[in-house]
């Protein structure tokens, strides 16, 4: 059975998230998006866990269901902040668990290390080796996945606080790490350049802080397995049944290129190196982006493809496309009206973006919108690169977008 999973997201009990981010809205918009399985997020938070227990039923498969039959899997992201080898480390990890019973044991163990009630993504001061020891001591079924693996500030390979290898981070527990999350600012092709990742599964999830369809499922992983926790974890660990990932163009991510947001400076890695990674306006250190970090660690040239690599597709969320074409806000009534026109005819956003025939699209929407949807499917939409916490921006043809392109060139050519 083929299904699309987004297993990294948050509830309303995490910082900087929507106050309406509850199970009802997650289910509603997951169905609209075309997602079949969602992570619950935030299972360490006591109030959210109580809501999960009241709303989700277990049947022994490890896949929990709402009263309407939608599928959830127990998940959480935690932050490990500590010092190692004379450097401060800030690593985020996704934890997947097969049952409420196991979750209770995880929470009991983590509760001895710090508070769980102040944030859906709690922070702990111990290292990743100890984390793995703790969790595997509870159950081998628990899966630990380094989150958004390349983000500068909070990730295993982050330029500001990360490591140069999985082994350096997890030590003798390296063998327990079977996958990394690519994150918005990298895609599998970038990760293929590191031979150390050849035996590591590449998974993609949204890290959504709201339920809106331009956030939830913006990155996801496609599985072709029997719907059970055991089968899903086996697919992650072996890649058997992990068929492909859905990505955004890495330029869309907030940390793809180097830059300094306060100075409106965005630079390619080669230009940053010429300036010794110093902002040419304020002379402070640039935030080194994901592309630069990949270049630092890569031992292969661009376009290398490992033997057992899984395919991927790159998609800009539908609402982003409609917003650009219609010249209206992404959450505006005008954008929503056209969004729901398409959803009403094709069932889900992923069906529109991945499968709807061009001739059928042109019966329902404008030729311009239909053509851009097809270009999106073929990864033909240019994206102004994101940097230092600024999202990238899709570039369509003509008018205002040509000014954006010129502005982008000025930023990249700053001297």
Give a yes or no: residue 382 inside a domain.
no
Of 235, 252, 269, the last residue of a domain is 252
Q: Look up the CATH number of the domain holding residue 102.
A: 3.20.20.140
Same structural domain, 244 and 351: no
Query: Mean pLDDT throughout 265-292?
Result: 97
Residues 100, 208: one domain? yes
pLDDT tens-digit readout, 52-111: 999 999 999 999 999 999 999 999 999 999 999 999 999 999 999 999 999 999 999 999
Is residue 411 very low, low, confident or very high in pLDDT (cuts 50, 70, 90)? Answer: very low
Taking 3-state DSSP, the helix, strand and coil percentages for the chain, each rounded to the nearest 5, stand at 35, 20, 45
Domain that holds residue 360: 317-377
My answer on whether 106 and 180 are in the same domain is yes
Taking the C-alpha atoms of residue 42 and residue 385, their distance in angstroms, rounded to an integer, is 30
88 and 175 part of one domain:
yes
In whole angstroms, what is the distance from residue 60 CA to residue 74 CA? 13
Mean pLDDT in residue range 175-186: 98
Within a domain: 283: no
Last residue of a domain, one of 252, 281, 305: 252
- Tell me the Ramachandran region of residue 85: left when phi exceeds 0, alpha when psi lies from -120 to 50, beta otherwise: left
Is the per-residue pLDDT at 278 higher than 60? Answer: yes
- How many folded domains does the chain comprise? 2
Least confident stretch, 218-232, 236-250, 348-362, 392-406: 392-406
pLDDT of residue 125: 98
Q: Say whether both 247 and 337 belong to one domain.
A: no
Q: Are 27 and 211 in contact (CB under 8 A)?
A: no
Nearest to 102 by CA among 261, 256, 286, 229: 229
Last residue of a domain, one of 252, 274, 289: 252
With respect to residue 27, please indicate whether it lies within any of the assigned structural domains.
yes
Percent of the chain at pLDDT > 70 equals 95
- State mean pLDDT over 186-194: 98
Task: Answer yes or no: are the C-beta atoms of 268 and 256 closer than 8 Å.
Answer: no
Report the distance separating Cα 187 and Cα 17, nearest Å: 25
Q: Quick check: 71 and 38 in contact, CB under 8 A?
A: yes
Q: Tell me what pLDDT residue 401 has.
A: 52
Same domain, 233 and 342: no
pLDDT of residue 415: 36
Same domain as 223, residue 91: yes
Is 20 contained in some domain? yes
Q: What's the mean pLDDT in 38-47?
A: 98
3-state secondary structure of 320: helix
Is residue 392 included in any domain, yes or no? no
Contact present, 178 and 143 (Cβ < 8 Å)? yes
pTM of the shown model: 0.95
Residue 404 pLDDT > 80: no
| Helix-then-strand count for the chain, H and E | 15, 16
**Is pLDDT of 332 > 90?**
yes
In a domain, 12, yes or no: yes
pLDDT tens column, 368-401: 999 999 999 999 999 999 999 999 999 986 445 5
Phi and psi dihedrals of 284, rounded to 5?
-95, 170
DSSP states along 388-410:
TTBPPEEE-SSTHHHHHHHHHHH
My answer on whether 200 and 344 are in the same domain is no
Could you tell me which of 162, 134, 125 has the C-alpha nearest to residue 147? 162
Rounded to the nearest integer, the mean pLDDT of the chain is: 95
Whether 169 is in a domain gets the answer yes
Tokens 């163990």 belong to residue: 109
Residue 78, helix vs strand vs coil: strand
- Tell me the C-alpha distance between 146 and 177, whole Å: 8
């Amino acid at each position: 059975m083929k299904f699309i999973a987004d297993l990294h997201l948050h509830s309303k009990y995490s910082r900087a998230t929507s106050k309406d981010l509850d199970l009802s809205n997650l289910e509603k918009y997951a169905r609209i998006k075309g997602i079949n399985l969602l992570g619950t997020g935030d299972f360490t938070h006591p109030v959210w866990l109580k809501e999960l227990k009241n709303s989700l039923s277990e049947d022994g498969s490890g896949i929990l269901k709402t009263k309407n039959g939608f599928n959830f899997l127990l998940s959480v992201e935690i932050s490990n902040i500590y010092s190692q080898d004379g450097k401060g480390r800030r690593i985020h990890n996704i934890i997947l668990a097969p049952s409420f019973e196991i979750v209770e044991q995880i929470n009991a163990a983590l509760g001895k290390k710090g508070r769980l009630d102040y944030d859906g993504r709690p922070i702990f001061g111990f290292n990743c080796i100890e984390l793995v020891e703790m969790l595997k001591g509870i159950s081998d079924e628990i899966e630990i996945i380094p989150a958004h693996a390349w983000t500068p500030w909070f990730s295993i390979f982050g330029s500001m606080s990360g490591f140069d290898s999985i082994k350096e981070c997890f030590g003798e527990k390296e063998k327990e790490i079977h996958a990394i999350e690519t994150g918005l600012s990298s895609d599998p092709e970038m990760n293929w350049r590191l031979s150390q990742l050849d035996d590591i599964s590449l998974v993609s999830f949204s890290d959504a802080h709201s339920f809106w369809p331009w956030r939830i499922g913006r990155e996801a992983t496609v599985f072709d397995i029997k719907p059970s926790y055991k089968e899903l974890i086996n697919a992650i660990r072996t890649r058997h049944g992990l068929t492909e990932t859905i990505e955004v163009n890495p330029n869309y991510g907030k940390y793809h290129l180097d830059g300094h947001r306060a100075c409106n400076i965005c630079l390619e890695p080669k230009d940053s190196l010429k300036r010794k990674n110093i902002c040419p306006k304020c002379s402070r250190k640039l935030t080194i982006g994901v592309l630069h970090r990949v270049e630092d660690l890569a031992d292969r040239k661009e376009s290398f493809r490992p033997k057992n690599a899984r395919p991927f597709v790159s998609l800009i969320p539908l609402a982003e496309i409609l917003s650009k074409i219609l010249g209206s806000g992404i959450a505006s009534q005008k954008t929503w009206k056209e969004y729901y026109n398409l959803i009403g005819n094709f069932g889900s956003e992923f069906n529109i973006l991945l499968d709807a025939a061009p001739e059928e699209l042109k019966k329902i929407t404008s030729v311009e919108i239909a053509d851009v949807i097809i270009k999106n499917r073929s990864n033909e939409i240019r994206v102004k690169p994101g940097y230092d916490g600024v999202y990238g921006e899709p570039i369509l043809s003509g008018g205002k977008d040509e000014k954006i392109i010129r502005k982008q060139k000025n930023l990249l050519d700053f001297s």
